[in-house]
Copies of this chain bind each other. A is one copy, B any other.
Amino acid sequence: MSETLPPFLAACRRLPVPHTPIWIMRQAGRYLPEYRALREKHDFLTLMRTPELAAEVTLQPIRRFALDAAILFADIMTPLDGLDLGLRFAPGPVIERPLRTAAAVEAFAAHRGAGGVESVDQAIRLVRERLPREVPLICFAGAPFTLFCYLVEGRASKHFPTARAFLYAEPAASALLLDVLADIAIAYLEAQARAGAQALMLFDSWAGLLARDEYARVCLPPMRKVLAAVGHLGLPRIYFPLDGAPLLADAATLPVEVLGVDWRTPLSRAREIVGPTLALQGNLDPMALFADDAELDRRIDRVLEEAGSGPAHIFNLGHGIEATTDPDKVARLVDRVHRATAVPTFAQSTV
């Protein structure tokens, strides 16, 4: 059966694969000249909100590289787009009207629908029509705690002091907001699934700001709610807690098929922590793409070695690709992962 699944979806299910599948976080983005050409004509929000443009950007890296998955061009904040928060990008997300009082949270809680649904619905349909069958489409959202950080702080910050102080100063309002954000994520991910998403990923970009007990208290309950609620959709669920080394054991208790691992935790160590029941996704340091070819090759091989020989590995960078990366290095990476992991018995059409 697994031969008929695209390699990426097979790996998510820990089924045998013809080669280790690879995709790259932020593969649709600024390191591609064809993306920069589009960005000269349209701002980021326009690209994200216009289905034809979002579809085009999503497909750009697929045309150029033999990637095993596409990921919808959108932002972790897209579920908050259109919810009257004054979301803009400069270039990181900015919330013009952050929620900093219990009253503001209660007013926001009156909303219960997700934003950004209409444009992603159409973009997903366009992408699915144009994608080859063996390249599944990943859709994603920000995890509730990460959206909470931006919503309270108002913009990216080294340590999100306002958002973290709010957790202590307003515990009840914080819990309410996290629960509302879970509902928003659920509505958004369900809409993506209806439109044709083939895997769902949650980015928890700021999980690493929390001590382990705070993570268990603050981050996990809304995350568990989201993942449980979308389970009936039958799509692989991927959770990526950035800077999550001390959190992996707890993260592994979530109902997910795949755990993303950042560049700081060797996959062999992650595997020891999370056990055999999940697929792991990662984790070449994105900066290794700036090394010379020989060093890059050694780094790629080390990630493969640390991942072990089982099927439950999806190759990726350990964080989003840097905008100044040479696309030729990406081509080298994809080719090397495929060649190094090709299983002869699967490659019947090429022998």
Contacts and interface: CB of A to CB of B under 8 A. Distances in A.
Interface of A: 156, 158-159, 161, 164-169, 208-214, 243, 245-246, 263-266, 285-288, 290-291, 295, 319, 322, 324
- Name A's interface SS: helix
Contacts of A168: 285, 287-288, 290-291, 295
B211 A290 contact: no
A25 B143 CA distance: 31
B266 A324 contact: no
A245 B248 CA distance: 13
A159 B319 contact: yes
A266 B211 contact: yes
Contacts of A158: 156, 158
Contact of A211 (B159, B210, B213, B285): B285
18 contacts: A158-B158, A161-B286, A161-B322, A164-B287, A165-B287, A168-B285, A168-B288, A169-B290, A169-B291, A208-B243, A208-B264, A211-B264, A211-B265, A212-B264, A213-B266, A245-B245, A246-B246, A246-B264
Contacts of A319: 159
Given A169-B291, A211-B265, 8 more contacts: A156-B158, A165-B287, A166-B290, A168-B287, A168-B295, A209-B264, A213-B266, A214-B285
A158 to B, nearest CB: 7
Nearest to A262: B211
Interface centre among A164, A166, A265, A324 (most CB of B within 10 A): A164
A286 B209 CA distance: 12
Contacts of A322: 161, 165
A209 B264 CA distance: 7
Contacts of A287: 161, 164-165, 167-168
Contact of A263 (B167, B211, B264, B295): B211
